[in-house]
């Protein structure tokens, strides 16, 4: 850990010097931060904590501050405070470094499972070779310490939510079937590293999702997925190949079954201006089978995704562009035709900002453009209608997270969406509110 400390002390000084012109009106905070660095270099960690906390109280917020404050807390044996400081970095470009140090904090607190989960995350996800090597060494040490220090290489999460959906059928608000309902929702994920070595071994993962409506069981949704992936370092990034299978249900009826193959490449350190940006690109292909009564959804799906993650003025930003091309069986009746084969273009931008050590605020905006490959043929009150369906869906959300413990976080989200279609029957708007709790294991 001492090597990382020295590296980050240097980075902290660089960031302080670069930020000074932009923060000329806040010299007091910068002065406190500078004195904290001097105390840190001298090994006076108690004094460093006081100076860093003073800089924070004066409004300074940066990755360098949170990291050095976490290190100073760690050296003082204030593990809970160190955990909270490092957690401030989890949504930014330095999330892998934060995860590694959270593993060290957990290790010192004798929370072996939590330490293992953080080191494993760094090993599987980090683009920095040195961090991956350090994480691998820590995992080897845990394994060598025997059952008390190493169980199996696994990780899991559990989300439990309650909420209300104002338009669960996603139809025009003027339609007779327009209705809202409360629901209970659960999401469980798990992953395990198989034998054969962490660098070249296989990884299996699983996901279980369920949303059950209190008074409208006809819209209950369930989803199960499993995947098998292999990742390896390629050049300066991380390449991954994954095969997966999934099954979805609507009101207990089998909706679709999907078999997919995905290839991705993740590269850290993509420089845009002065920001550290992580880039990821992926390609996917899937075969889809429709359940009984839902045969029109069967067919093929092809997709491409490009993602960017970065920091900007105290915000942790993420953006994603997704392209989907569908070739489905479509729905034909003696008098009508419904295309189920859209081409999707989706853009999602998400931002998170730390309000306090434990409280995070987030916002998300989405735009989805859908153009269906074939024209619909419908029977309306005014006669036959032949028209291609084109949709514009706009969506926005605000989120809150409050860290309760090292494992559990309280969450809340308000989501609003509006869909405008060339076929008015597909126009709709709705809102979803959820509150819940999220755990990491």
The residues near 216 (Cβ < 8 Å, ≥ 6 apart) are 168, 179, 181
- Give the residue from 158, 165, 169, 333 showing the smallest Cα distance to 251: 169
Cβ atoms of residues 365 and 396 within 8 Å: yes
User: Per-residue confidence of the chain (441 residues) as pLDDT tens digits?
Assistant: 444 444 444 444 434 443 444 344 445 788 888 888 888 888 888 888 888 888 888 878 788 888 888 898 888 888 888 888 888 887 777 888 888 998 898 888 777 767 877 888 887 777 777 888 888 888 878 776 654 444 456 778 999 999 999 988 764 444 545 678 899 999 999 988 775 444 456 789 999 999 999 877 688 999 999 999 987 767 667 788 999 999 999 988 999 999 999 999 887 666 544 445 778 899 999 999 999 989 999 999 999 999 988 777 767 788 999 999 999 998 888 888 888 999 999 999 999 888 887 888 999 999 999 999 899 888 777 778 888 999 999 999 999 999 888 778 999 999 999 999 998 888 999 999 999 999 987
- Give the residue from 284, 212, 194 showing the smallest Cα distance to 246: 284
Confidence at residue 269, expressed as pLDDT on a 0 to 100 scale? 62
Residue 49 sits at the vertex; the CA angle it makes with 43 and 51, to the nearest 5 degrees, is 100
Distances (CA, A) of 86 to 55, 148, 378, 401, 433: 17, 26, 57, 16, 30
Confidence at residue 276, expressed as pLDDT on a 0 to 100 scale? 57
Confidence at residue 413, expressed as pLDDT on a 0 to 100 scale? 97
Confidence at residue 433, expressed as pLDDT on a 0 to 100 scale? 97
pTM to 2 decimal places: 0.69
The residues near 45 (Cβ < 8 Å, ≥ 6 apart) are 39, 72, 75, 76
Q: What is the CATH architecture assignment of 1-77?
A: Alpha Horseshoe (1.25)
Confidence at residue 27, expressed as pLDDT on a 0 to 100 scale? 53
CATH 1.25.40 placement within the chain: 1-77
CATH 2.40.160.40 placement within the chain: 154-440
List strand residue ranges (DSSP E) for 355-440, in order: 359-380, 383-403, 408-421, 428-440
Homologous superfamily of domain range 154-440: monomeric porin ompg (2.40.160.40)
Instruction: Give the Cα separation of 406 and 416 in Å (integer).
Output: 31
- Residue 369 burial (10 A CB sphere; 0-12, 13-18, 19+): middle
**b or e along 232-252 (b: 16 or more beta carbons within 10 Å of the residue's beta carbon)?**
eeeeebbebebebebbbbbee
């Amino acid at each position: 850990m001492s090597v990382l400390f020295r590296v980050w002390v240097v980075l902290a000084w660089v960031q302080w010097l670069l930020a000074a012109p932009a923060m000329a009106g806040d010299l007091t905070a910068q002065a406190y931060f500078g004195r904290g660095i001097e105390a840190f270099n001298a090994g006076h960690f108690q004094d460093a904590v006081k100076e860093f906390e003073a800089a924070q109280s004066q409004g300074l917020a940066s990755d360098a501050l949170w990291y050095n404050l976490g290190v100073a807390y760690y050296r003082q044996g204030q593990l809970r405070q160190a955990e909270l400081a490092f957690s401030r970095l989890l949504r930014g470009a330095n999330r892998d470094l934060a995860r590694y140090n959270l593993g060290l904090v957990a290790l010192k607190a004798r929370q072996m499972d939590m330490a293992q989960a953080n080191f494993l995350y760094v090993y599987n996800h980090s683009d920095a070779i040195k961090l991956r090597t350090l994480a691998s060494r820590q995992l080897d040490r845990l394994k060598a310490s025997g059952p008390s220090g190493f169980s199996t290489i696994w990780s899991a999460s559990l989300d439990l939510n309650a909420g209300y959906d104002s338009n669960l059928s996603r139809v025009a608000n003027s339609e007779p079937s327009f209705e809202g309902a409360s629901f209970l929702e659960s999401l469980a994920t798990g992953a395990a590293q198989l034998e054969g070595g962490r660098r070249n071994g296989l990884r299996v993962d699983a996901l279980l999702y369920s949303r059950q409506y209190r008074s409208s069981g006809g819209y209950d949704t369930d989803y199960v997925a499993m995947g098998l992936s292999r990742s390896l370092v390629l050049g300066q990034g991380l390449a991954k190949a994954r095969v997966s299978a999934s099954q979805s249900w609507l009101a207990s009826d089998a909706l679709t079954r999907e078999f997919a193959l995905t290839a991705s490449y993740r590269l850290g350190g993509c420089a845009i201006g002065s920001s550290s940006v992580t880039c990821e690109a992926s390609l996917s292909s899937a075969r889809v089978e429709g359940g009984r009564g839902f045969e029109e959804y069967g067919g093929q799906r092809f997709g491409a995704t490009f993602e960017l993650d970065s920091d900007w003025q105290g915000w942790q930003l993420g953006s994603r562009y997704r392209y989907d091309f569908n070739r489905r069986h479509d729905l034909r009746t003696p008098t009508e035709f419904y295309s189920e084969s859209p081409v999707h273009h989706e853009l999602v931008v998400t931002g998170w900002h730390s309000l306090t050590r434990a409280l995070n605020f987030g916002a998300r905006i989405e735009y989805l453009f859908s153009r269906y490959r074939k024209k619909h043929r419908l029977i309306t009150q005014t006669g036959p209608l032949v028209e291609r369906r084109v949709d514009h869906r706009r969506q926005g959300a605000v989120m809150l997270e409050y860290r309760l413990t090292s494992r559990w976080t309280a969450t809340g989200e308000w989501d609003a969406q509006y869909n405008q279609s060339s076929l008015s029957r597909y126009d709709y708007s709705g809102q979803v509110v959820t509150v819940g709790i999220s755990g990491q294991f």
